[in-house]
Chain A
Amino acid sequence: MLYRTAGQFKTSYEADQALFPVKQDAFLLGIIMLFALVIFPLTASEFAFQTMLIPVMIYALAALGLNILTGFAGQLSLGTGAFMGVGAYACYKMVTLMPWMNPIVAILLSGFFSAGVGVMFGIPSLRIKGFYLAIATLAAQFFLVWLFEKWAWLYNYNASGAIQVPNLDIFGVYVTGPQADSMVQYYVVLGIVALMTMLCINLTRGTLGRTWKATRDMDIAAELIGINLMKSKLTAFAISSYIVGVAGALYVFMWKGAAEPNLFDIPLSFQVLFIAIIGGLGSVLGNYLGAILIVGLPVVLNLLPGALGLSISSAMVEHLNIMIVGSLIVFFLIVEPHGLNQLWRLIREKLIIWPFPH
């Protein structure tokens, strides 16, 4: 009843192709945006900003980037963490070499570096397929992390080998570094993530997105109907790596504040892959749902023993955490292999026909 789509007639192709052809969808998004833009920032504590709001956005963006490659173009990649690292290091080099640069511009530019590296490691995908390609992307993962460690120029010859985010401001307001306010950082992240999401939604609806999907579903058939596979796969690698790189820059500059090479090691890649898969491959919304689950779960699990009045050592909580996350991943895969996005789709179908069964 509340979600009834009957009676919303489209009289032109433009109206039918609109971003939100159903009024209720747009209304729902409006409510979510109200929460994201006004209610969360006003009510959230420092703890909530640092453990939930900012990381969820950043992880969702990284997963979105991976989803472009794996979910839309069908090229499985396990090197996401390293590409995030490329973005972060590129951003760090830019703001330290050119301190006058606007940090947001630097973050957006750093994606181009990871896009370049991504295309380079994407070239083998023209010949290698499936799991062979997945392992091939691991070559990028291990090689790049090794490079972050050994190439001292990248971290300005620091004794510690880590990169430290400097204090940077836009018009007198600090946006990065220890002096920045969490709320400001949250708005910057939200802005960039929203921009990227818009970009992705429209890309995946358009020619490029359809080319990717054709490549994913059967690349030989796609080639036969005249799709240039090289162009299709490499653009997927480029755009995916660009978004992942921006997410990496945000990850370090807006959230972590400092980074060592092993931060970008394989667990990060897997975390992002989990988000993309649990959220749903080939979806945009799913990345957000997946990020909320994967980022939120450890936070909740950490708070739980205290709330229940149990005293468990923090090492034990850590171990239990890993165990529970692992079993939940298996659980979600069994219950809904197509991800949370599919779950939402089913709920929406039900809402549309409610209160009738068919």
Chain B
Amino acid sequence: MLSDIFINPFVDMVAAPDFLMQVLWEGLVSGILYALIALGFVLIFRSSRIFNFAQGIMVVFAALTLVGLHAYGVPAWISVALTLGVMFVLAVTIERVVLRPLVGQPDIILFMATIGITLFLIGFGETIFGGENKQMITAELGIPTGDTVLEPFGGLLILQHLDITVVIVATLLVGALLAFLNYTRMGRAIRALGDDHQAALSVGISLQTIWVLVWFIAGIIALVTGIAWGARAGVSFALEVIAYKALPVLMLGGLESITGAIVGGLMIGILEKLFEIYWGQPLLGGNTETWFAFVLALVVLLFRPQGLFGERIIERV
């Protein structure tokens, strides 16, 4: 029993390094998607202290809108543009209708409001586009679908072109986002708002504009994530499970940290795959991915209550 836990998995890893690499690769791909969702979340949390539960649903909603528009006969790239438009309208609407009247309410009320938005988006999306599972328009968007087979250590390593594209696009997006946050006026305004609300307001940064902006950026991220995830698993509201996956990522990385979201996402993506393959399936009957990330984050939090990269919590009486 003990050797099953402490020795055999590592023996398996060393015995089949090609399989281990395959597992790591798949973990990396899902990890990068978790990191993306968590990033959209961190942006909103930093600039408005809103724990945005709707981030995961925005992913599904964006993907659904894209596929739905295409199904009505709109060409693929124009539907992408239109979907971005929809996400912008969504950002403005949320800011106007939900956030503005709730400014200054306790955190938990704003959190509940985002759950309300979540429900609304689920109902709205299903009413308009139907609730059944749909195919992502991978080919129409020019995303390659083949695979490359490598043979390291005399074994097999299958890399889906789709996954490679996802990793490249996601890396570019993260890079672009970091550049935006660090080198543009708007980006600096977002960071300033995150550091000190009142100081930012007093130098003339408009709260409303920034809020719309961060929700729109979150919408763009949601669309990219939605396309990537939809191409792997189809588009339906079952995708919302990945929304929950972003939460332990945030916990692990810290709610305010952009670095934390990226590192946390990759860590959770890889570790949960490793645990599932080498410990979960042989010992626990599988499907451990639903909870492993949460329990991992919980254990880390016991030692660092603000996450790995979060702001140190200083309490005063």
Contacts and interface: CB of A to CB of B under 8 A. Distances in A.
A281 B297 CA distance: 28
Contacts of A150: 284-285, 287
A139 B108 contact: no
Q: Give the interface size bracket for A toward B.
A: 35 or more
Given A131-B51, A136-B301, A319 B131 contact: yes
Nearest to B303: A127
B3 interface: no
Interface in B247-290: 247-248, 250-251, 255, 284-285, 287-288, 290
A326 B119 contact: yes
A124 B298 contact: yes
Contact of B290 (A142, A321, A322): A142
A134 to B, nearest CB: 8
Interface in B71-127: 97-98, 101-102, 105-109, 111-113, 115-124, 126-127
A334 B101 contact: yes
A322 B126 contact: yes
B317 interface: yes
Nearest to B286: A150
Q: Give the interface size bracket for B toward A.
A: 35 or more
A270 interface: yes
A291 interface: no
Interface string A238-280: 0000000000000000000000000000100010011001000
B11 interface: no
Given A329-B112, A330-B98, A330-B116, A127 B107 contact: no
A95 B156 CA distance: 53
Contacts of B106: 337
Nearest to A139: B294
A323 B108 CA distance: 21
A220 B317 contact: yes
Nearest to A321: B123
Interface of A: 70, 76, 124, 127-132, 134-136, 138-139, 142-143, 145-146, 149-150, 218, 220-221, 224, 266, 270, 273-274, 277, 281, 315-316, 319-330, 333-334, 337
Closest 7 pairs between A and B when the two form their complex, measured CB to CB: A323-B123, A326-B119, A326-B120, A322-B123, A139-B294, A329-B116, A142-B291
